[in-house]
């Protein structure tokens, strides 16, 4: 790695000098933390060079505000990023061997994906500045500077990961630091006198829960699919029983299922839900997320679309597969002059947790603000009691209906608020078809009106979607949830105002539910 050679053409030498000066200025003003360990002084030390590369990369990324916040950066390990799920395996990884290697590889994969998104979203000026100091730019600029930056980043990630794996002190530090802080502000709770203010909030939560139970009771008496409703149905091929394929899927040394792309898509297709809403209003139509020239997000309701991802949870020592579906509405319209919940965009998240044989075990849902967390267990689960009174532990409006072969879950939502008020099943549902996309595309969307080929994330460096703030944030801050009501990125969903709970907590189910042994199973086992 190095700058352009001294015998380069004058114009090229000036360009390289300009890039070096720009990077020096960015490094001086950037707020991104530098590696905690000093780089080695030898100029040909690949570890020191690669640490310097990530310092440059992160400085430029921060300068242009394209930091991707989905995964947590690990201090002193710039090539790695962690998640709550991966952090939960630290104790198992500490045993060493294949368990540590697989864990480290997953941390590196998260870092590579995050850096790749940031590189894709950088403007040309940032990419050219980085490419000027990357290996491969000698006498002439590369044909594709972005590819050079990507290649250099991946190379350096591997160099640093190999070093971290080989050094015992680095392994110990990583096991300690690869934790993910929760999404609550303890300072806000202290200043907001949380032990006192939580009491009226707890009463408000109980009122909302009772209203939700009443709404489910009313909707249970209404026939699904009436003439004044519209259904959005998945454009997904019919797939058969995937239980055997899921059961045969290999697992790594951590016990995490290794699903190939085909099986992932088949599972997501099989359990894709139907959305049922009142007809007429544009704010009740799901659509494709886009960016307008100014960078503001807008939902294209002429293109119904649902975004989806694979996630994982733990239950009774096993890792289970989760299917996550995200639908975007243009807004939550105001219901009056002082509606603190109204605002731009409204995301609805539906999640299906499968058992090891591919059968639904639990359904749960939130809005993209992290609000309104509802659980719908199947008969195989039973809710555990809350460890203390008054906290938001597990709210179950009802048992999930059992979907037979060829049936899909139908989610009935209220107009405007998009609250879920009923679950049912339907075979061969009829309605307006929606397309599906990987949720990761929301982290790098085409940005029209900027430079040619420009891209930008839907989410800001803080994991929130700018412009989606709600008035409720002025009242709810004592609960410690930052910017309550704003739509946010995966990994940033605090789902309780009273207590602490995250949508991506790996032990979310394990702490709140227990398996129910089928009737007669005990007798048969003797």
Average pLDDT over residues 111-135: 94
Other C-beta atoms closer than 10 Å to the C-beta of 170 total 17
Which residues, at least 6 apart from 204, have a Cβ–Cβ distance to it below 8 Å? none
Q: Is residue 217 located within the same domain as residue 272?
A: yes
Q: Is residue 136 located within the same domain as residue 196?
A: no
What's the pLDDT band for 134 if we cut at 50, 70, 90? Answer: confident
The pLDDT value recorded for residue 148 is: 94
Pairing, β 420-427 against β 407-413: antiparallel
Which is more confident, 238 or 436?
A: 436
Q: Is residue 129 located within the same domain as residue 217?
A: no
Which residues, at least 6 apart from 348, have a Cβ–Cβ distance to it below 8 Å? 275, 326, 327, 329, 365, 367, 368, 413, 418, 420
pLDDT above 90: percentage of residues in the chain: 80
- pLDDT tens sequence across 14-23: 344 334 433 3
The pLDDT value recorded for residue 78 is: 98
Q: Is residue 262 located within the same domain as residue 405?
A: yes
Q: Is residue 29 located within the same domain as residue 54?
A: yes
Boundary residue ending a domain (177, 197, 220): 177
Average pLDDT over residues 507-520: 86
What's the pLDDT band for 232 if we cut at 50, 70, 90? Answer: very high
The pLDDT value recorded for residue 239 is: 78
Average pLDDT over residues 264-270: 96
For residue 243, pLDDT over 80 is answered with yes
For residue 486, pLDDT over 50 is answered with yes
Distances (CA, A) of 7 to 3, 128, 136, 262, 511: 12, 20, 16, 52, 65
Average pLDDT over residues 126-137: 83
- Choice among 2-6, 24-28, 48-52, 484-488 with the minimum mean pLDDT: 2-6
Q: Is residue 341 located within the same domain as residue 473?
A: yes
- Choice among 31-35, 171-175, 191-195 with the minimum mean pLDDT: 31-35
- Domain of residue 161, residue span: 10-177
Handedness of CA 253, 250, 365, 297 (dihedral sign): positive
Q: Is residue 209 located within the same domain as residue 106?
A: no
Task: Report if residue 524 sits inside a domain.
Answer: no
Q: Is residue 364 located within the same domain as residue 335?
A: yes
Residue 515, SS3? strand
Mean pLDDT computed over every residue of the chain: 89
Task: Report if residue 408 sits inside a domain.
Answer: yes
Task: Report if residue 22 sits inside a domain.
Answer: yes
- pLDDT tens sequence across 360-385: 999 999 999 999 999 999 999 999 99
Residue 78, SS3? strand
Task: Report if residue 304 sits inside a domain.
Answer: yes
The pLDDT value recorded for residue 225 is: 65
Task: Report if residue 121 sits inside a domain.
Answer: yes
Query: 480, 494, 497: which is closest to 202 by C-alpha?
Result: 497
Domain count, the chain: 2
For residue 39, pLDDT over 80 is answered with no
For residue 98, pLDDT over 80 is answered with yes
The pLDDT value recorded for residue 255 is: 97
The pLDDT value recorded for residue 130 is: 95
Q: Is residue 294 located within the same domain as residue 351?
A: yes
Give the position of tokens 């030898």: 42
Q: Is residue 367 located within the same domain as residue 459?
A: yes
The pLDDT value recorded for residue 32 is: 36
The pLDDT value recorded for residue 17 is: 38
Query: 426, 428, 422: which is closest to 222 by C-alpha?
Result: 422
What's the pTM? 0.89
Task: Report if residue 223 sits inside a domain.
Answer: yes
Which is more confident, 143 or 526?
A: 143
Q: Is residue 103 located within the same domain as residue 143?
A: yes
The pLDDT value recorded for residue 520 is: 52
Task: Report if residue 4 sits inside a domain.
Answer: no
Boundary residue ending a domain (135, 157, 177): 177
The pLDDT value recorded for residue 34 is: 36
Average pLDDT over residues 150-156: 96
Boundary residue ending a domain (120, 143, 177): 177
The pLDDT value recorded for residue 380 is: 95
Residue 354, SS3? strand
What ranges in 309-410 are assigned the alpha helix state H?
Answer: none
Winning range, highest mean pLDDT, from 134-148, 212-226, 344-358, 399-413: 344-358
Distances (CA, A) of 168 to 46, 104, 162, 173: 19, 13, 12, 9
The pLDDT value recorded for residue 33 is: 39
Distances (CA, A) of 302 to 13, 102, 298, 319, 433: 51, 43, 12, 38, 11
Task: Report if residue 521 sits inside a domain.
Answer: no
The pLDDT value recorded for residue 492 is: 97
- pLDDT tens sequence across 449-479: 777 889 999 999 999 999 999 999 999 999 9
Distances (CA, A) of 374 to 104, 351, 398, 495: 34, 10, 9, 10
Q: Is residue 80 located within the same domain as residue 121?
A: yes
């Amino acid at each position: 790695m190095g700058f352009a050679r001294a015998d380069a053409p004058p114009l090229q030498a000036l360009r390289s000098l300009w890039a070096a000066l720009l990077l020096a200025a960015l490094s001086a003003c950037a707020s991104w933390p530098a590696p905690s360990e000093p780089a080695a002084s030898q100029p040909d030390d690949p570890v020191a060079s690669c640490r310097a590369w990530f310092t440059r990369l992160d400085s430029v990324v921060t300068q242009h505000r394209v930091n991707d916040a989905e995964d947590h950066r690990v201090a002193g390990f710039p090539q790695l990023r962690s998640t709550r799920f991966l952090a939960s395996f630290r104790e198992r990884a500490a045993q060493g061997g294949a368990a540590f290697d697989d864990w480290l590889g997953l941390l590196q994969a998260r870092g590579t994906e995050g850096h790749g998104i940031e590189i894709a979203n950088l403007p040309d000026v940032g990419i050219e500045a980085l490419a000027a100091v990357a290996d491969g730019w000698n006498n002439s600029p590369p044909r594709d500077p972005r590819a050079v930056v990507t290649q250099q980043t991946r190379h350096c990630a591997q160099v640093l990961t190999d070093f971290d794996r080989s050094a015992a002190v680095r392994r110990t530090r990583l096991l300690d630091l690869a934790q993910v802080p929760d999404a609550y502000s303890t300072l806000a709770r202290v200043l907001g006198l949380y032990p006192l203010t939580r009491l009226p909030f707890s009463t408000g939560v109980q009122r909302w829960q009772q209203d939700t139970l009443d709404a489910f009771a009313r909707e249970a008496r209404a026939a699904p699919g009436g003439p004044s409703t519209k259904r959005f149905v998945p454009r997904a091929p019919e797939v058969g029983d995937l239980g055997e394929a899921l059961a045969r899927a290999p697992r790594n040394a951590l016990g995490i299922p290794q699903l190939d792309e085909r099986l992932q898509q088949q599972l997501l297709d099989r359990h894709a839900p139907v959305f049922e809403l009142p007809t007429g209003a544009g704010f009740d139509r799901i659509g494709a997320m886009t960016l307008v020239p100014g960078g503001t997000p807008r939902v294209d309701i002429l293109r119904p679309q649902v975004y989806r991802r694979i996630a994982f949870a733990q239950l009774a020592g096993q890792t289970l597969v989760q299917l996550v579906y995200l639908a975007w509405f243009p807004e939550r319209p105001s219901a009056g002059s002082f509606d603190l919940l109204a605002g731009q965009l409204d995301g609805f998240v539906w999640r299906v947790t499968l058992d090891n044989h591919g059968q639904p075990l639990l359904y749960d849902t939130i809005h993209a603000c992290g609000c309104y967390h509802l659980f719908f267990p199947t008969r195989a689960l039973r809710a555990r009691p809350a460890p203390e009174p008054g906290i938001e532990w597990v709210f179950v409006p009802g048992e999930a209906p059992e979907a037979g072969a060829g049936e899909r879950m139908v989610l009935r939502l209220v107009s405007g608020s998009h609250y879920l008020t009923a679950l049912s099943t339907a075979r061969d549902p009829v309605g307006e078809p929606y397309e599906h996309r990987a949720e990761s595309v929301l982290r790098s969307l085409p940005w029209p009106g900027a430079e040619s080929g420009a891209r930008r994330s839907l989410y800001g460096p803080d994991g929130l979607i700018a412009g989606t703030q709600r008035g409720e944030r002025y009242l709810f801050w004592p609960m410690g949830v930052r910017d309550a009501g704003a739509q946010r990125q995966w990994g940033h969903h605090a789902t309780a105002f009273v207590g602490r709970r995250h949508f991506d907590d790996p032990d979310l189910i394990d702490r709140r539910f227990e398996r129910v042994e089928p009737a007669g199973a005990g007798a048969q086992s003797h």
